[in-house]
Amino acid sequence: MGWWATGEDEDIIGDRPADTLDFTLKAIAEHYEELQQPKPTLQQVLNAIASVVRMKLGDLVEDALSISIQKRGTVKITELRK
């Protein structure tokens, strides 16, 4: 598996997470197509991802207790503490 920098601080991503995300984003676009609707906007995709993360945060990330994800028109992620 290859790894590369995301361009955000020291963050890196590997092939499998990137492939999974690519598959998921394509599935979302295909779902909209099946419904004969335009593809979602980036903001709609981010809002959907944020909704899932808010519900499952503790199961998904190590630093769940230090993060707050709020929706007020657009997704806002705030680091509560370091």
- The model's pTM is 0.56
Q: Higher pLDDT residue, 38 or 50?
A: 38
Residue 4 has pLDDT above 60, yes or no: yes
CA distance 27 to 32: 9
Read off φ and ψ for residue 3, nearest 5 degrees: -130, 145
Confidence of residue 34 (pLDDT cuts 50, 70, 90): very high
Residue 82 has pLDDT above 60, yes or no: no
